Amino acid sequence: AQTVTQSQPEMSVQEAETVTLSCTYDTSENNYYLFWYKQPPSRQMILVIRQEAYKQQNATENRFSVNFQKAAKSFSLKISDSQLGDTAMYFCAFMKQGGSEKLVFGKGTKLTVNP
Amino acid sequence: GAVVSQHPSRVICKSGTSVKIECRSLDFQATTMFWYRQFPKQSLMLMATSNEGSKATYEQGVEKDKFLINHASLTLSTLTVTSAHPEDSSFYICSAPPAGGAEDTQYFGPGTRLTVL
């Protein structure tokens, strides 16, 4: 079974600064996907960024980037130029490759961006 | 982008009654849908996988007779909480990967807040 661990229950950052959220996972699979989802107070799940395990290059989406270390089973999220709208819960998630597979979520990190 | 809706968005019911929650994919077909439960300040926990035209697959510890799932069409899955009790109060979220779409893609519904009095 796969597990996802987020060791930071809460974090805070000043507006315009950079913050990194940590995530580690455990799996015996070789092919899989990793995700970071954002859940604002509305509770709608929003995909922030995805990474295919077979790709060595780290994924980036505007101010969001990941540091994917496959051997270490680590998948951290870096948010640059933090904005007030980034305040939310952030969940790291794992999905096996294969189609219509379930997502396994970490416990989440509550990020607060301070003005 | 693709849209998944849930109805109702929030519901309050009395203990012992049953509540049905609908999850619809509005502009794509989904042979599989996932139902999650999220307690306050906690993560999403998968309850079951809903399969169109066949029985749902339940996660360990989830009572299939209490949480009835029906996936009657390629755009609709329903979750019925039978004989609801206060401990069933939670936020229920569905997600759906589009049939024939990218295998790593899932769209989430906005969730349903259930309160059992």
Mean pLDDT score of chain A: 96
CB contact under 8 Å between A99 and B106, yes or no, is no
Angle at A27 between CA B47 and CA A3, to 5 degrees: 40
Q: Which residues of chain A are within 8 Å of residue B110 when distances are taken between CB atoms?
A: 42-44
Residue type, B60: Q
Instruction: Write out pLDDT tens, residues B44-93.
Output: 999 999 999 889 999 999 999 999 999 989 999 999 999 999 999 999 99
Of A32, A22, A45, which is closest to residue A2 (Cα–Cα)?
Answer: A32
Tell which A residues from 66 to 105 touch B, by Cβ distance under 8 Å.
Answer: 91, 95, 97-105
CB contact under 8 Å between A105 and B91, yes or no, is no
Check if B94 contacts A (Cβ < 8 Å).
no
pLDDT of A50 higher than 90: yes
CB pairs under 8 A between A and B: 47
CA distances from B113 to A18, A53, B10, B11, B69 (A): 34, 34, 4, 6, 17
Check if B95 contacts A (Cβ < 8 Å).
yes
